[in-house]
Amino acid sequence: MGISLNGLNSGMADTYSTLLGGMSGGDNAGGVSSLLGDYAAIKNGSYGKMLKSYYAKLEKQKADESGETDQKKAGKIKDSASASSAAALYKSASALGSLNYDDRSEENIDKITDSVSAFIKDYNSLMKNAAKSENTTVQKQAESLYNSYYSNYKLFSKIGITMNSDRTLSLDEDTIKKALADTEHGNGATVKTLFGGIGSFADKAVNKASQIYRAAGDGEAVTSSKAKYAGAGSSSSTSASSTSSTKDKDKNKTVTDASSAAAANTLYKSIEKLGSMNISNTNKEEVYKAFSSFVEDYNALINNTDKSANSNVVNQAGYLKSIVSSNKSAFARIGVTVNSDKTLSIDEKKFKDADMSGVKNLFTGAYSTAEKMTDRVNQIYRYATQGDSLSKKTYDNGGSGVNVPTMGSMVDTIL
């Protein structure tokens, strides 16, 4: 909102009148000095700048009250359509990560094909909704997901997945089935590379879907109870023609793992505590104590999952290790070392000498490392207990468990 020249001239005239009237009225020297100071401010432009600043604040206040703030530009607009499709993509992409791509039986090939088809359907739905979204974060994350596909489009075309003009995908089921059955040219391995491992396209889709859901919804993670995410189902029974080793693998996916579940539960509370703390350079002792507990609990979970007979638990722990390893430099800056076995070690002196903003960046804020870790810890707990989820539980300040089935996790809200 600008200031018109006429308005400014009028204001100056009024000020001159006040100045002259005050002088003729016999005011003391201090009053005259004050008025002369005002006159000087008008003359050098300070008064105009002050008015501009004042009206700018009024304009911002008006925009805040009408809901038209810069939050819109920052991507904080709710987008239920994108949130819904992101939750669906998260589920179908996660399911792809737990499939057995080495089993070339006809039944398993059909199962993989159906799972890829469901994933593409959800991917297309998200891309269409994101294209219409006014939420800039949704747009950016969808663009990033598209770029991940485009950088590997040649590999996708080999297995029958092509890009349409609107950036959606098409699947030729006959081609992907032939690729899965192909042991001579390695096209079956291409399917596994694209959909079955850490760092795969499906894994990136899981991450992007989680971020889109958070940005488009209420700021909660896609694993929260509001997402109504049941997770990838346990594997179906194998056919009579399946090998005994395949049966054992499928069976192991459904083995409960109380030790890993307990360790995941403990680590979850440690991450929650750090996420809810006021982390600053003024309370380093308190932060160090909480971070030491986090390191201890993280290592306990890694040690338990390394021995787990539940292949889904092992897979999710692999994702968790990858998240930590990818932030090796950030951890090093605060005196924390990622060891060769992916456990952590903390140097107390280096930690306390470090700027606590490094800890804050890792454990607070949307899309933080802690948020990604929380998603994986949730899944480890769910697979280890076969269906339960830490998002159904929250904790008091003392760390005691309080069952609240209808609430999302506090970590989901905080991070």
Q: Check if the beta carbon of residue 141 is closer than 8 Å to that of residue 208.
A: yes
Indicate the domain borders of the chain.
Answer: 5-66, 80-219, 258-414
pLDDT of residue 2: 47
- Structure token pair of residue 396: 């008091």
Of all helices (H) and strands (E), which one includes residue 334? none
pLDDT of residue 407: 26
pLDDT of residue 344: 96
What is the DSSP secondary structure assignment for residue 367, as one 8-state letter? T
pLDDT of residue 371: 83
Residue with tokens 């990560």: 97
3-class SS at 210? Answer: helix
pLDDT of residue 127: 93
Per-residue pLDDT of the chain (415 residues; tens, 9 = 90+): 444 445 445 555 555 455 445 444 444 555 555 556 666 666 666 666 666 676 666 666 655 554 444 444 444 688 889 989 998 998 898 888 888 888 889 999 999 999 999 999 999 999 999 999 988 888 888 898 888 888 888 889 889 999 898 889 999 999 999 999 887 776 778 898 899 866 788 888 888 888 888 888 766 656 554 554 333 333 333 333 333 444 444 445 668 889 999 999 999 999 988 988 899 999 999 999 999 999 999 999 999 999 999 888 998 898 899 889 989 999 999 999 999 999 999 999 999 999 999 999 998 876 688 888 888 898 898 888 876 666 555 443 333 443 333 223 333 333 2
3-class SS at 131? Answer: helix
The 3-class secondary structure across the chain, one letter per residue, is CCCCHHHHHHHHHHHHHHHHHHHHCCCCHHHHHHHHHHHHHHHCCHHHHHHHHHHHHHHHHHHHHHCCCCCCCCCCCCCHHHHHHHHHHHHHHHHHCCCCCCCCCHHHHHHHHHHHHHHHHHHHHHHHHHHHCCCHHHHHHHHHHHHHHHCCHHHHHHCCEEECCCCCEEECHHHHHHHHHCCCCCHHHHHHHHHCCCCCHHHHHHHHHHHHHHHHCCCCCCCCHHHCCCCCCCCCCCCCCCCHHHHHHHHHCCCCCHHHHHHHHHHHHHHHHHHHCCCCCCCHHHHHHHHHHHHHHHHHHHHHHHCCCCHHHHHHHHHHHHHHHCCHHHHHCCCEEECCCCCEEECHHHHHHCCCHHHHHHHCCCCCHHHHHHHHHHHHHHHHHCCCCHHHEEECCCCCEEECCCCCCHHHHHC
Q: Is 0.85 surpassed by the pTM of this model?
A: no
Give the C-alpha separation, 386 to 389, whole Å.
Answer: 9
Give the C-alpha separation, 374 to 409, whole Å.
Answer: 10
pLDDT of residue 364: 83
